[in-house]
């Protein structure tokens, strides 16, 4: 059963691949399927105790791919401006930058110690809520877009503070080592 969470992540990647080619009336089902697979893969991995670093990475790649593809598709469809994308994915941009920096500085363990945070889950929930609102073509798009941006920025700050703490802790360990 170890492979089930990874299959769900691969399913989400598949949804990302087909999303731009589907008619708008199908978007809601792809978003619901993606959101459900996102919830289920983590829940199953923890519940069955089959969580792994590689599975977590696959989950993150599937999440970010679906989010980016959906956002680009929405912009292409004229649902909102391309300039909103960096704000909506501020947390994702910060985490990717922190990973690149950690790799460059050979401080990967400082990055890998960063657990999922409530703020990250809130940012992800905001993104999926935004996607649902866009798929429903609601007049609430501007309001939910602003709320999603706030969640994303708060999460970026939270993860940034956590990463800096980990880097400082690592530096202290190095300086106190014999």
77-102: per-residue pLDDT in tens? 999 899 999 999 998 888 888 888 88
**Which position has the token pair 């602003």?**
146
Phi, psi for 107 (deg, rounded to 5):
-120, 35
Beta carbons of 87 and 149 less than 8 angstroms apart:
yes
Q: Residue-wise pLDDT tens for the chain (178 aa)?
A: 789 999 999 999 999 999 999 999 999 999 999 999 999 998 999 899 998 878 888 998 999 999 999 999 999 999 989 999 999 999 888 888 888 888 888 877 767 767 778 999 899 999 999 999 999 999 999 999 999 999 999 999 998 898 888 888 888 888 887 7
Those residues with Cβ within 8 angstroms of residue 81's Cβ, 6 or more apart along the chain or in another chain: 75
The beta-carbon contacts of 35-43 under 8 Å, at least 24 apart in sequence, are 35/128, 37/8, 37/9, 37/11, 37/12, 37/62, 38/12, 38/62, 38/63, 38/124, 38/128, 40/5, 40/8, 41/4, 41/5, 41/6, 41/8, 41/9, 41/12, 42/5
Beta carbons of 69 and 16 less than 8 angstroms apart:
yes
Number of C-beta neighbours around residue 43 at 10 A: 12
């Amino acid at each position: 059963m170890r492979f089930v969470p990874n299959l769900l992540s691969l399913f989400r990647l598949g949804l990302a691949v087909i999303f731009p080619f589907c008619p708008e009336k199908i978007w809601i089902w792809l978003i619901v399927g993606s959101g459900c697979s996102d919830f289920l893969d983590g829940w199953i991995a923890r519940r069955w105790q089959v969580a792994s670093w590689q599975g977590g990475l696959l989950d993150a790649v599937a999440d970010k791919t679906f989010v980016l593809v959906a956002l680009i598709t929405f912009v292409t469809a004229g649902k909102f401006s391309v300039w909103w994308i960096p704000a909506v994915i501020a947390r994702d941009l910060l985490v990717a930058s922190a990973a690149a920096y950690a790799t460059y500085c050979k401080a990967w363990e400082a990055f890998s110690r960063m657990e999922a945070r409530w703020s990250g889950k809130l940012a992800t929930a905001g993104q999926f809520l935004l996607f649902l609102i866009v798929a429903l073509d609601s007049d609430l798009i501007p309001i939910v877009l602003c709320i999603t941006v706030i969640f994303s920025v708060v999460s970026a700050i939270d993860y940034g503070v956590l990463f800096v703490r980990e880097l400082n802790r690592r530096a202290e360990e190095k300086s106190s080592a014999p």
